[in-house]
Amino acid sequence: MHRWPVRVYYEDTDLAGIVYYANYLKLIERARTEWT
């Protein structure tokens, strides 16, 4: 297992401050592009 810190922006969350499940794909893509 690898860990890569990713900043979660306000636009990725709902009103309760929880990341909307479909936005996990954006977070994974951000981490992938920063890793290479």
SS3 3: coil
> Please, which residues have CB within 8 angstroms of residue 23's CB and are 6 or more apart in sequence?
12, 13
Given the residues 10, 14, 21, 25, the one annotated as active site? 14
- Is 14 one of the catalytic residues? yes
| Active-site residue list | 14
